[in-house]
Amino acid sequence: MPFWIPLGVAALLVLAIYLIRPTAQALPVASTVLWRRLLAARKRRRDRLRWLLSLLLATAVAGLLSVAASRAPWLQPGGGDPIALAFDPSPTMQARLPNGGPSRIELAAAEARRIVAAAEAGSRFTVNADPTPLTSAEVLALLSGPLETLSNVADTEPAIPTARRVHVFTDGIGPFTPIIDPGTEKHTVSVLVPARNAGIVRFATRPPATRATGPEALLEILATDPAGGQVPVELTVADSETIRIRRQLELEPGERFTALIDLGSFAPGAVTARIETPGDVFPLDDRAGLIDAHAANTRTAAFSPAHRVRAPADQRRIVVIARSPGSFAGSAAALALEADVSVDVATVRAATGADDPPPEDPLPAADIATFHRTAPAIPPAMPALYLDPPQAVAAGGLSPAAEAPLSRRRIDRTQASHPLLAGVSLLDLPVVLAARELDPRCTALASAGDRTAIAACDPAPASGPRSLTIAFDLDHSPLAQRPDLAALFQNAAAWLTEPPARSDLTADTGLQNAINLQADWATRINDSTLDPVPTDRLSDLDRPNRRPWSWRTLALAGLLFASFEAITFFRGLTL
């Protein structure tokens, strides 16, 4: 039946009802004064009642909206066990989704937010092993903030508090086996998104099996690609002087590339292997380093931490490895360090090559290693401060960029809330900077446009020491004449030697560790038995993360609304 037929019938019906409506009888009266007064009084009463109802209704609506939107905890039933959320802290959770998408841990947080939003009213939540129950608003705020609190835990077997049910967010790769009460309902939420990756799975020296003259290194690279195509890999191996090997590889997915490298011709010191792969989503396994224990003069990685746990009042010992101790002695950095009575500075000269005389032996034990215009091939196993490192060398979370000409800029962005910048003002400071790539695990404390001026690396406890890199020349910066420099160095000395909060946690995540050379590394970002995340679940990850208003804010809004209604009511105004 066409649409217009019922429409026309309805219109005719309405017209008929209107036409057959009885007309009003006309009645002459002496005067309508009293009638008009009566109707006006009725209208006043009706208006007053209407406004009163409007006021009550508006107040009730505002209050209910406030309660509903904020999920005020005092209205929520407290009964029942909480819902536990457990997040896999393994490094593969840092792998980013293809095409520059979010990381797996961010995907896990998004999935957790969906679960929290869909949970029953009044539900409480626990996160990982923390037994403190959180309201939905609190856990949503936690999941909307920085996710380091979820991923910077090394416990792969957390004891999950007693819960109604447990949601485990994992990619199924790391050895993550949360301990759950028997009988507890468990839901495993997969955040596995297969992606292309190539990684160094083994890089170690071994005794020379075939040659008696020198050692050799075993290098293994494993590639994976869910699309099944060949994975192009560019391999570079460098010693402390120059790149010794550069090679283009085409690896089949699952193919293990193995190479024996003769280290006899390499310069003494650290040896670094690096691979670059287009579309690689996991940078953590693209670098590896080793120290030829059989070669002489490998000093840069020989430092050992003197006191990792110490009282703040103790004097910190800083060893400065300078390219030129003479030039460092008169530099702004030296003056700033000398001005700090809480540090004891010893300066040594860095080794610059095989023909260069080695620095003094043995090196003094220290709390902080400071590198002035130089950097070791392998980071030292102690907190490090890099001052104006060479552009071509990776140091303190900054790697060389392809195009890295120096340019004069002004610092336009700082993380003023970071403890390193307490009492330090760097904004608008003119600096001369080279382009460098910032390690995603590190933080840019000060930036000038797209270039990082100061970078701080704070790895997970027991997985490496902290480091700070000042990537510009202090002696050619106005900062040398300002008290901010001394404050920055004092902050740096305190922050670098700050004892780790959870030093008892193990760092063994099952993946490669550049410092602790493991016998068997693995690149396993796709090596999971879990089902991948459906593609439709990835479509709305960019949706803005709505944080609920606090119930106080909404209550205030309701109060203001009610006040406005009251004012309009008593003033006889209308909205």
Partner 1 sequence: MADHSVFAFEPAFLARLERLRLLTRRVPAGGFKGEHRASHLGSGLEFADYRPYVEGDDVRHLDWRAYLRFDRLLLRMFEEHGDLAVYILLDCSHSMAPTPGSSGRRKFDAARRIAAALTYIALATLDRVTLAPYSGHVHQVLGPLHGSRQVWRALDYLANLDTGGETHLDRTVREVFAAGRRRGLVIVISDLLSDTTEGGLDLLLPLRHDVAVIQVTDHRDLEAPLDRDTTLVDSETGDSLRIHGAPNLLHRLEREAEAHREEIRARCTARGWSFIHAPVEASFEELALGALRRGLLSRGR
Residues of this chain that bind partner 1 (CB under 8 A): 22-39, 41
- For residue 395, the number of C-alpha atoms closer than 13 Å in the C-beta half-sphere is 29
- Closest by CA position to 231, among listed 254, 250, 257, 255: 250
Q: Which is nearer to partner 1, 40 or 567 (CB)?
A: 40
Nearer to partner 1, 33 or 313 (CB): 33
The distance of closest approach from Cβ of residue 42 to partner 1 in the complex, given in angstroms and rounded to an integer, is: 8
Query: Closer CB to partner 1, residue 28 or residue 78?
Result: 28
Cβ 46 to partner 1, closest distance in Å?
A: 13
Nearest distance from C-beta of residue 32 to partner 1, angstroms: 4
8 Å CB contact between 349 and 356: no
Say if residues 430 and 408 touch (Cβ distance below 8 Å). Answer: yes
Q: Find residue 394's DSSP bridge partners.
A: none
Nearer to partner 1, 37 or 256 (CB): 37
Minimum distance, C-beta of residue 19 to partner 1, in the bound complex (Å): 16
Shortest Å, Cβ 39 to partner 1: 7
If phi > 0 it is left, if psi is from -120 to 50 it is alpha, else beta; for residue 127 that is beta
350 DSSP assignment? P
Which of residues 25 and 529 has its CB atom nearest to partner 1 in the complex?
25
Map residue 188 onto helix, strand or coil: strand
CA distances to 116, 131, 188 from 167, rounded to whole Å, are 11, 15, 6
Closest approach of Cβ 35 to partner 1, in Å? 6
The residue written with tokens 């040659």 in the block is 211
* Closest separation in Å from C-beta 20 to partner 1: 14
Of the pair 26, 402, the CB lying nearest partner 1 is at 26
Nearest C-alpha neighbor of 242 from the set 261, 270, 214, 213: 270
Give the residue from 417, 421, 411 showing the smallest Cα distance to 449: 411
Q: Is the peptide bond before 82 cis (omega within 30 degrees of 0)?
A: no
Q: Which two tokens stand for residue 149?
A: 């609190």
- Residue with smaller CB distance to partner 1, 39 or 339: 39
Which residue type does 168 have?
V
**Which CB sits closer to partner 1, 44 or 211?**
44
Main-chain dihedrals φ then ψ at residue 85, nearest 5 degrees: -120, 120
Nearest approach in angstroms of CB 45 to partner 1 is 11
For residue 550, give the amino acid letter.
Answer: S
The span from the CA of 398 to the CA of 442, in Å, is 9
Amino acid at residue number 200: I
Contact in structure between 154 and 505 (CB atoms under 8 Å):
yes
Query: Where on the phi/psi map is residue 80: left (φ > 0), alpha (ψ -120 to 50), or beta?
Result: left
Nearer to partner 1, 2 or 28 (CB): 28
Task: Report, in Å, the least distance between residue 554 CB and partner 1.
Answer: 43
